[in-house]
Amino acid sequence: MDTGCFSAAQRLSCHAMNSDLPKPCPDHHGPPPPPPPPHTPSSAVPPPVKTNRNRSEQIKPELAPVVTDPKTGRSYSKGKLLGKGGFARCYEMTDLTSNKMYAVKVIPQSRVSKPHQRDKITNEIELHKTLSHKHVVKFSHHFEDHENIYIFLELCSRKSLAHIWKARHTLTEPEVRYYLRQIISGLKYLHNRGILHRDLKLGNFFINENMELRLGDFGLAAKLETVELRKKTICGTPNYLAPEVLNRQGHGTESDVWSLGCVMYTLMCGNPPFETLDLKETYKCIKEVRYNLPSNLSPAAQKLISSVLQKVPSNRLNLDQILAHEFFTKGFTPDKLPPSSCVMVPELHPPSPAKKFFTKMAKSFFGKKKAKAEKIPCDEKELSKLVSGIVKCSVSRQISYKTVEAHEVPSPTGQLVSSVPLEPTPAEEESRKSVSRSFKGTMASSTEPCEDGSTPAAVAESAAKVLNACLAAMPAATRNPPCLSRPEPFLWVTKWVDYSNKYGFGYQLSNHSIGVLFNEGTHFSLCDQRKTIHYCLTNNKHFSFQTSALPEQLRSQKQIVELMANYMEQNLMEGGDLHCEDQASSTPPPLLLQWVKTDHALVMLFNNGTLQVNFYTDHTKVILCKSSDGSHLLTYISRERASYTYPLAMLSEAGCSAELRHRLRYVVQLLQHHHTDA
The arrangement of secondary structure in 456-677, i.e. its CATH architecture, is 2-Layer Sandwich (3.30)
How many Cβ atoms sit within 10 Å of the Cβ of residue 228?
A: 6
pLDDT value, residue 321 = 96
Decide: helix, strand or coil at residue 341: helix
CA nearest neighbour of 82 among 141, 163, 169: 163
Q: Kindly report, residue by residue over 278-311, the tens digit of the pLDDT.
A: 889 999 999 999 999 998 899 999 999 999 999 9
Q: Kindly report, residue by residue over 542-563, the tens digit of the pLDDT.
A: 888 898 888 888 888 898 999 9
pLDDT value, residue 542 = 83
pLDDT value, residue 485 = 87
DSSP label at residue 78: E
What angle in degrees, to the nearest 10, is found between the helix axes of 555-571 and 173-192?
A: 50
Q: How confident is the model at residue 436 (pLDDT cuts 50, 70, 90)?
A: very low
Decide: helix, strand or coil at residue 351: coil
For residues 418 and 202, the model is more confident at 202
Q: What is the pTM (predicted TM-score) of this model?
A: 0.48
How far, in Å, are 188, 472, 481 from residue 465 at the CA level?
Answer: 58, 11, 22
pLDDT value, residue 226 = 56
pLDDT at 255 exceeding the cut of 90: yes
Judge whether 84 is annotated as a binding position. Answer: no
Q: How confident is the model at residue 249 (pLDDT cuts 50, 70, 90)?
A: confident
pLDDT at 585 exceeding the cut of 50: no
Spatial contact of 516 and 560, defined as CB atoms under 8 Å apart:
yes
Going 568 to 569 to 570 to 572, the CA torsion angle's sign is: positive
For residues 379 and 70, the model is more confident at 70
Rounded mean pLDDT, 652-668: 92
Rounded mean pLDDT, 167-191: 95
- Cβ partners under 8 Å of residue 215, min gap 6: 4, 135, 136, 137, 183, 186, 187, 190, 197, 200, 204, 205, 206
Spatial contact of 23 and 33, defined as CB atoms under 8 Å apart:
no
Q: Kindly report, residue by residue over 318-371, the tens digit of the pLDDT.
A: 999 999 999 999 999 999 999 999 988 898 876 544 445 444 444 443 344 333
Q: Kindly report, residue by residue over 609-628, the tens digit of the pLDDT.
A: 999 999 988 889 999 999 98
pLDDT value, residue 48 = 41
Q: How far apart are CA 610 and CA 509, in angstroms?
A: 12
For residues 292 and 1, the model is more confident at 292
Spatial contact of 615 and 34, defined as CB atoms under 8 Å apart:
yes
| Third-level CATH fold of 8-153 | Phosphorylase Kinase; domain 1 (3.30.200)
- Cβ partners under 8 Å of residue 368, min gap 6: 407, 408, 416
**Residue ranges of domains in the chain:** 8-153, 162-339, 352-436, 456-677
Considering the chain, what percentage of its residues have pLDDT values greater than 90? Answer: 48
Q: How far apart are CA 205 and CA 135, in angstroms?
A: 9
When the pLDDT of each residue in the chain is averaged and rounded to a whole number, the result is 76
Q: How far apart are CA 32 and CA 599, in angstroms?
A: 10
Alpha helices (H) along 92-217: 115-128, 161-168, 173-192
Q: Kindly report, residue by residue over 72-84, the tens digit of the pLDDT.
A: 999 999 999 988 7
Q: How far apart are CA 329 and CA 619, in angstroms?
A: 27
CATH number for the domain whose boundaries are 162-339: 1.10.510.10
Rounded-to-10 torsion of CA 655, 656, 657, 661: -100
Q: How confident is the model at residue 17 (pLDDT cuts 50, 70, 90)?
A: very low
Q: Kindly report, residue by residue over 134-145, the tens digit of the pLDDT.
A: 999 999 999 999
pLDDT value, residue 359 = 46
Decide: helix, strand or coil at residue 81: strand
Catalytic residue among 2, 20, 27, 199: 199
How far, in Å, are 448, 522, 591 from residue 542 at the CA level?
Answer: 14, 10, 10
> Which amino acid, one-letter code, is at 233?
T
Dump the DSSP string for 266-286: HHHHSS-TT--SSHHHHHHHH
Q: How far apart are CA 274 and CA 46, in angstroms?
A: 11
pLDDT at 175 exceeding the cut of 90: yes
Decide: helix, strand or coil at residue 415: coil
- Cβ partners under 8 Å of residue 579, min gap 6: 510, 511
For residues 117 and 414, the model is more confident at 117
Backbone torsions φ then ψ of 205, nearest 5 degrees? -110, 110
pLDDT value, residue 580 = 61
119 noted as active-site residue: no
For residues 430 and 587, the model is more confident at 587
